């Protein structure tokens, strides 16, 4: 991976909506060159998707409940944790799965419409999986910062408008 590719990735990770011409100028390449680089990064599954960070609390009519679940599992010979991780992440309500060091094995983030829905998932779908030994569910009360984005930013530029 060369320096320009990393620079492009950093810019896109921060703002995927930056216009191609602007991005090209920023990294001092032509639009063609940047498009080619991005295409190849997409093909290599280095860039996986372009998503937005949304504060759903501010929208009306789409309430949801999120929880982080600590899961202890029995790893299997040869496939280790990968097989059970896959069986968990294939559920659409699962937003993230991480293998962790420490007191438990998998950290599973899940989102549902209601608390009941989340509880149903844990008791009926997750806990019933063969390799799952135990679960501890933590409901998320408030998001302050997600993926490096602060949810209630102070956006006002505090600098004086013209200075030497």
Least Å distance between CB 8 and other proteins? 10
Least Å distance between CB 22 and other proteins? 6
The helix-helix angle for 3-14 and 31-43 (nearest 10°) equals 80
The H or E element that residue 6 is part of is helix 3-14
Q: Cα separation of 102 and 136, whole Å?
A: 14
DSSP class of residue 121 equals I
Least Å distance between CB 17 and other proteins? 9
Binding mask 18-37 vs other proteins (x if CB under 8 A, - otherwise)?
A: xx--x--xxxx---------
**95 touches 108 (CB < 8 A):** no
Give the count of residues interacting with other proteins (CB under 8 A).
Answer: 19
Q: Is 161 in the site for other proteins (CB under 8 A)?
A: yes
Which residues contribute to the site for other proteins (CB under 8 A)?
7, 10-11, 15, 18-19, 22, 25-28, 157-164
């Amino acid at each position: 991976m060369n320096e320009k590719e990393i620079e492009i990735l950093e810019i896109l990770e921060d703002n995927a909506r930056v216009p191609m011409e602007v991005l090209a100028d920023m990294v001092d390449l032509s639009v063609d060159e940047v498009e080619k680089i991005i295409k190849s990064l997409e093909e290599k599954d280095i860039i996986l998707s372009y998503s937005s960070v949304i504060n759903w609390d501010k929208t009306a009519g789409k309430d949801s409940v999120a929880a982080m679940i600590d899961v202890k599992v029995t790893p299997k010979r040869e496939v280790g944790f990968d097989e059970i991780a896959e069986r968990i992440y294939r559920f659409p309500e699962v937003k993230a799965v991480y293998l962790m060091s420490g007191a438990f094995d998998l950290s599973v983030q899940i989102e549902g419409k209601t608390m009941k829905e989340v509880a149903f998932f844990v008791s009926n779908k997750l806990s019933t999986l063969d390799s799952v030994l135990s679960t501890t569910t933590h409901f998320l009360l408030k998001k302050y910062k997600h993926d490096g984005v602060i949810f209630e930013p102070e956006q006002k530029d505090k600098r004086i408008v013209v200075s030497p």
